[in-house]
Structure 1
Amino acid sequence: MPRFAANLSMMFNEYAFLDRFAAAAKCGFKGVEFLFPYEFPVDEVASALKGANLTQALFNLPPGNWAEGERGMACLPGREAELMRGVEKAMLYAEALDCKTVHLMAGLTPRDVSEERLEATFAANLKEVAKALAPLRITVVIEPINRRDMPGYFLSWQEQARRIIQRSGALNAKVQMDFYHCQIMEGDLTRRLEGQIGQVGHVQVAGVPDRHEPSEGEVNFPHLFTSLDRVGYTGWVGCEYRPRGRTEDGLGWASPYGIKGASA
């Protein structure tokens, strides 16, 4: 049975961030993920996580200036030193949270740099980031993101991600396979999962096309959850969706997997 992690950047927004951990645990989640923890002191995040008896499944490395529209820098030549300073910062959180998977964001495609140079830069940076995190037994994942939600994002295809990982030579680098993004860009989810399961380090879900509960839209998630079991995936499944209303009211889709609304 899949192990679900609540994405606290999108779910349980009825609560202050540090209160979302307890809310997720109350609904039966055993793990959580989020985008970025850096605006909160590391000891406060660790206290909220451990106080709720949860596992930290994933968080993102610093993405550059998010408020100004940056979405990572791994593919951007000239940003290497800044990237590695971000890795040092993230390591403090990863150690305190005992988090074994972090996401390295590619960045937006500049107009004046060739695709080959961007890919080479991404692969080289992935190699260095993975090397820095290897002593902590951390896996670095890279995620193809659809270009409708994030126009201009450099990494959008599953094969592209696998190629960059192979080019990097990093043994602790894998693909973050978000079924929502993959469906929008490529489809054929079951066969894509089967074909690359050995390279999948993290999975995420959301209904397509509106990114609400997985019970909505065009994707048969019960089938995919069964497929994850069948292919032997044992990692976390991040619930990176925007609830239509109160998070607890929309958890009916997860009740077969031991997760229920707070009032259930």
Structure 2
Amino acid sequence: MAKFAANLTTLFTELPFMERFAAAKAAGFEAVEFLFPYDYAKEDLAAQLQQHGLTQALFNMFPGDWAAGERGMAAIPGREAEFRNNAEQALQYAIALGCKKVHAMAGIVDMNHSIDSHRDTFINNLRWAADLYAEHGIEIQIEPLNDRDAPGYFLAHQRDALELAKATDRDNVKVQFDLYHAQIMDGDLSKLIAEIGSYIGHVQIASVPERHEPSEGELNYPHLFKVLDKHYAGYIGCEYHPRNDTVSGLSWMAQA
């Protein structure tokens, strides 16, 4: 049975960030996720989770200069030391928040280096981080991003993510399966979910093509939730942009 996590970066944006935890709980969510926690003290975030009885489902490692277009550096040759510093920072947040899943963003391809060197860098960085995080029972997630929203991102296809996860040879490296990105880049989602199977470490949803509530658009989410039930038992992150206010758009969740 599907269970949902509110993405506090995209939902409840009518409110200041620290007030979104209470709003998520009031709306019926038992878990939350967000892109990045680093603008806030980990103790303050942990207090919000505890106060409202929420589980932290996921967050991302620091991405670099987001405003300048950076989207991580896990696959970028020459930035290994920066990646390790960011991974260690994220680990401290994960421990404080009781979060068992952290996304390592691959980054935008650096044209000064070959694709093979990006792949080797990604695998080596993931192995290092996975070994560090395994001591705390935490998974590293890798997520393909579609090339419309993230042009030049190193990882765009689900099967490529599966191959890379296998190549790391670490049990705690998983595929973050965002159905919005997957539909745009791959399609055939029912069979794709079954193919990736036990390597799915986290799931996110939104409508396609406009990334609004999953009750609209071209995907049949009631069907896809049933398919996911056969392969995945974790939280499903609601990483979409409400068409109007967040609460009025949540009727889909009760039906799901």
TM-score (norm 2): 0.98
- 1:22-41 aligned at under 5 Å gives the runs 22-41=22-41
Give me the identity figure in percent.
Answer: 50
Equivalent pairs counted in the alignment come to 256
Aligned to 2:245: 246
1:100-121 deviations in Å (ceiling 9; x for gaps): 0000000001112111111111
The answer to whether the Cα contact below 8 Å between 2:194 and 2:231 also exists between their aligned partners in 1 is no
Aligned to 2:196: 196
- 1:133-212 aligned at under 5 Å gives the runs 133-212=133-212
- 1:87-98 aligned at under 5 Å gives the runs 87-98=87-98
Structure 1 gaps of 5+ residues are 258-264
1:209-255 deviations in Å (ceiling 9; x for gaps): 000000110000010011112x1411110000000111001001111
Deviation at residue 52 of structure 1 after TM alignment: 1.0
Aligned to 1:260: none
How far apart, in 2, do the equivalents of 1:93 and 1:112 lie?
Answer: 33
How far apart, in 1, do the equivalents of 2:89 and 2:24 lie?
Answer: 26
Confirm whether residue 214 of structure 1 aligns to residue 211 of structure 2. no
1:126-154 deviations in Å (ceiling 9; x for gaps): 11111111111000010011000111111
Query: Mean alpha-carbon deviation: is it higher for 182-191 or for 158-167?
Result: 158-167
Structure 2 gaps of 5+ residues are none
Aligned to 1:83, the other structure's residue is in SS state: helix
How far apart, in 1, do the equivalents of 2:255 and 2:234 lie?
Answer: 18
Deviation at residue 192 of structure 1 after TM alignment: 0.2
Aligned to 1:63: 63
Deviation at residue 45 of structure 1 after TM alignment: 0.7
Deviation at residue 67 of structure 1 after TM alignment: 2.1
Query: Mean alpha-carbon deviation: is it higher for 89-98 or for 209-218?
Result: 89-98
1:157-180 deviations in Å (ceiling 9; x for gaps): 111111111221122100000000
How far apart, in 1, do the equivalents of 2:136 and 2:62 lie?
Answer: 18
How far apart, in 2, do the equivalents of 1:154 and 1:103 lie?
Answer: 14
Aligned to 2:103: 103
Aligned to 1:126: 126
How far apart, in 2, do the equivalents of 1:255 and 1:32 lie?
Answer: 17
CA 1:232–1:164 in structure 2 vs 1: closer, same or farther (change >3 Å)? closer
Compute the RMSD of aligned alpha carbons: 0.9
1:46-65 deviations in Å (ceiling 9; x for gaps): 11111110000000011111
